[in-house]
Amino acid sequence: MPKAKDSSPNRVPRVAIAIMAAGKGTRLKSKHPKVLHEVGGKPLLAHVIAAAIKVIPAKDVYAIVGHEADRVRQAVAHTGINFVLQKEQRGTGHALMVAREALGRYDQVIVLSGDAPLITAQTIEHLRDFHTSKHPAMTILTAQLHDPTGYGRVIRRGKSVEVTAIIEEKSTTPPQRKIREINSGFYAFDAKLLFAYLNELKNDNPHGEFYLTDMAAILRGAKKSVMAMAVPDPPEILGSNTRAEMVDIDQRMRLAKCRQLLAEGVTIFYPQTCVIDSDVEIGADTVIEPFVQIRGKTRIGSDCHIRSYSVINNSVIGDAVVILPACMLDEAHVRNGASIGPYSRLRPGSEIGENAHVGNFVETKKTRLGKGSKANHLSYLGDSEIGEGVNVGAGTITCNYDGARKHMTVIEDGAFIGSDSTLVAPVKIGRDAYVAAASCITDDVPPDSLAIGRAKQIVKEDWAKAKRASRQKLDKPVLG
């Protein structure tokens, strides 16, 4: 027998979160959908989802997608949330009409805006708890802004918590325009009442859209309660309709990230000049100098020193690593105690071993440099496996590409590669072997041997002297 439905007021409500993400973002003048524009190093929508799934499980979160729906879906599918398709974008109210089937079975629907990425899990929780305890038909998250331009204004009944209407800026009267309490675009609804009255929305407004904001007046007209809950930290609800707003949000997010890292024991000199993405992790006592970018999912250990002008993307860096000025690291792994730079470029698949050194103007790609090995100057090391305690001399080049395919270079432990050598892959330099400077190595070099791959030096004694003498003879003036 099916269980009787629990209708007691103390039952925990079934809560869904709907994130509106179907709009085109006309004001950005972009070929990319608005919610995929990035702030803090990841799409607007990804930030909103991250906050939502800290509050409720992903299976109860629904993104309403429409413009470029497939791209948007693909970008955030890994989060495990659901998607509802709003084929035609006929307004924020219409977005919920198309989600009726998905959301109708919940008790409470929290609506978030996919273009307001500073929202925190804490505020969503407050909104949920406020709505659950006071139980109006609609709770509107509001904020007092110094400059409310562009936002819908909240009309309260006197000074009470009750709201009579939200007026979109285009429809405000001059006195209403002065109201600084704005609609954040975040709401909590009693799902039953939302869907009972949603069809009363009309699109007789300047944009010809169904505005979700009109639900305030509709529910009010039906004698249902509509309340405002003011957010304590107003910038949290900022939306990004324009590039200028987006850049402002990006800056706020990155400064907040720096403050979080400072609190966790990381020194960041001059944080205003650093670009650190939201998902970056850095250990205590690491020092970040000015003008450093740390992007993507980079993880940096403790006691590291990252010097100015380095750009580090999606890399893993151990403890006590020194990155000297102006290095570029992309999908690289640097182990404890290593030293990189200045001016090194570590491309994807670079793995730099413990206490290894990669110096100036050295480029690595798909290369493992073993523990304590050194490549200190002017080298290209691609598709190579380099053992421990190897010395790679200045100007060494692995010739890994034959015009069609890539080939491996293997350098075993303890080998010494003389300066200006070219190692034509596939090739292997054995353990503790020597390669003479300026060699072109095309054949494997056995362990403990010396390979010399260059033309033999010829010395012509007194050649220069003789040359000078013959020149002097020619230069003598002819007396006549």
| Three-state secondary structure call for residue 231 | coil
| CA 351 centroid distance within chain | 22
Contact 289, 307 (CB under 8 A): yes
- How far is Cα 298 from Cα 186, in angstroms, rounded to an integer? 32
User: Within 10 Å of residue 272's Cβ, how many Cβ atoms?
Assistant: 10
> What are the distances in angstroms from CA 414 to CA 368, 383, 405, 441?
15, 19, 28, 18
Q: Which of 347, 340, 335 is nearest to 309 (CA)?
A: 340
Nearer to ligand UD1 (CB atom), residue 64 or residue 410: 64
Closest approach of ligand UD1 to the CB of residue 238, in Å:
8
Q: Which does 92 bind (CB under 5 to 8 A by kind): Ca ion, ligand UD1, none?
A: ligand UD1
- How far is Cα 292 from Cα 89, in angstroms, rounded to an integer? 41
Which one of 121-129, 236-244, 346-354, 455-463 is the stretch in contact with Ca ion (CB under 5 A)? 236-244
- CA angle centred on 417, ends 412 and 420, rounded to 5°: 145
Contact 211, 90 (CB under 8 A): no
Taking CB under 6 A as the criterion, the residue among 18, 36, 69, 92 binding ligand UD1 is: 92
Taking CB under 5 A as the criterion, the residue among 132, 241, 251, 360 binding Ca ion is: 241
Is residue 377 flagged as an active site residue? Answer: yes
Half-sphere exposure of 363 (CA within 13 A, CB side): 9
Closest approach of ligand UD1 to the CB of residue 301, in Å:
38
Q: Which of 118, 120, 90, 80 is nearest to 23 (CA)?
A: 90
Taking CB under 6 A as the criterion, the residue among 37, 42, 94, 345 binding ligand UD1 is: 94
Contact 313, 295 (CB under 8 A): yes
- How far is Cα 38 from Cα 49, in angstroms, rounded to an integer? 14
183 binds ligand UD1 (CB under 6 A): yes
Taking CB under 5 A as the criterion, the residue among 115, 236, 289, 351 binding Ca ion is: 115
Site for ligand UD1 in 227-286 (CB under 6 A): 239, 241
Contact 451, 424 (CB under 8 A): no
Nearer to Ca ion (CB atom), residue 41 or residue 239: 239
Q: Which of 171, 159, 160, 153 is nearest to 225 (CA)?
A: 160
DSSP H or E run through 130: helix 121-134
- How far is Cα 307 from Cα 325, in angstroms, rounded to an integer? 5
Closest approach of Ca ion to the CB of residue 113, in Å:
6
- How far is Cα 208 from Cα 202, in angstroms, rounded to an integer? 9
Pairing of strands 153-156, 226-230: unpaired
41 binds Ca ion (CB under 5 A): no
Catalytic residue among 32, 135, 305, 377: 377
Q: Which of 220, 195, 24, 233 is nearest to 107 (CA)?
A: 195
Closest approach of ligand UD1 to the CB of residue 37, in Å:
11
Q: Which does 186 bind (CB under 5 to 8 A by kind): Ca ion, ligand UD1, none?
A: none
Tokens 């209407």 — which residue? 165
* Interface mask toward ligand UD1 for 194-223; x: CB under 6 A: -----------------xxx----------
Nearer to Ca ion (CB atom), residue 239 or residue 393: 239
Closest approach of ligand UD1 to the CB of residue 48, in Å:
9
Sign of CA dihedral 444, 446, 447, 448: negative
Closest approach of Ca ion to the CB of residue 279, in Å:
24
Nearer to ligand UD1 (CB atom), residue 152 or residue 359: 152
Nearer to Ca ion (CB atom), residue 172 or residue 241: 241
Site for Ca ion in 191-230 (CB under 5 A): none
- How far is Cα 355 from Cα 96, in angstroms, rounded to an integer? 57
Taking CB under 6 A as the criterion, the residue among 15, 22, 226, 321 binding ligand UD1 is: 22
* Interface mask toward ligand UD1 for 424-453; x: CB under 6 A: ------------------------------
Cis (ω within 30 of 0) for the bond into 342? yes
Nearer to ligand UD1 (CB atom), residue 20 or residue 320: 20
Half-sphere exposure of 315 (CA within 13 A, CB side): 31
152 binds ligand UD1 (CB under 6 A): yes
116 binds ligand UD1 (CB under 6 A): yes
Taking CB under 5 A as the criterion, the residue among 33, 40, 152, 239 binding Ca ion is: 239
Taking CB under 6 A as the criterion, the residue among 50, 95, 219, 329 binding ligand UD1 is: 95
- CA angle centred on 464, ends 458 and 470, rounded to 5°: 135
Count of positions on this chain that bind ligand UD1 (CB under 6 A): 31
387 binds ligand UD1 (CB under 6 A): no
Contact 396, 402 (CB under 8 A): no
Nearer to Ca ion (CB atom), residue 239 or residue 372: 239
Nearer to ligand UD1 (CB atom), residue 176 or residue 360: 176
Which one of 113-121, 160-168, 192-200, 440-448 is the stretch in contact with Ca ion (CB under 5 A)? 113-121
20 binds ligand UD1 (CB under 6 A): yes
Q: Which residues bind Ca ion (CB under 5 A)?
A: 115, 239, 241
Q: Which residues bind ligand UD1 (CB under 6 A)?
A: 20-23, 34, 64, 66, 86, 89-92, 94-95, 113-116, 151-152, 166, 168, 182-185, 211-213, 239, 241
By annotation, the residues acting in catalysis are 377
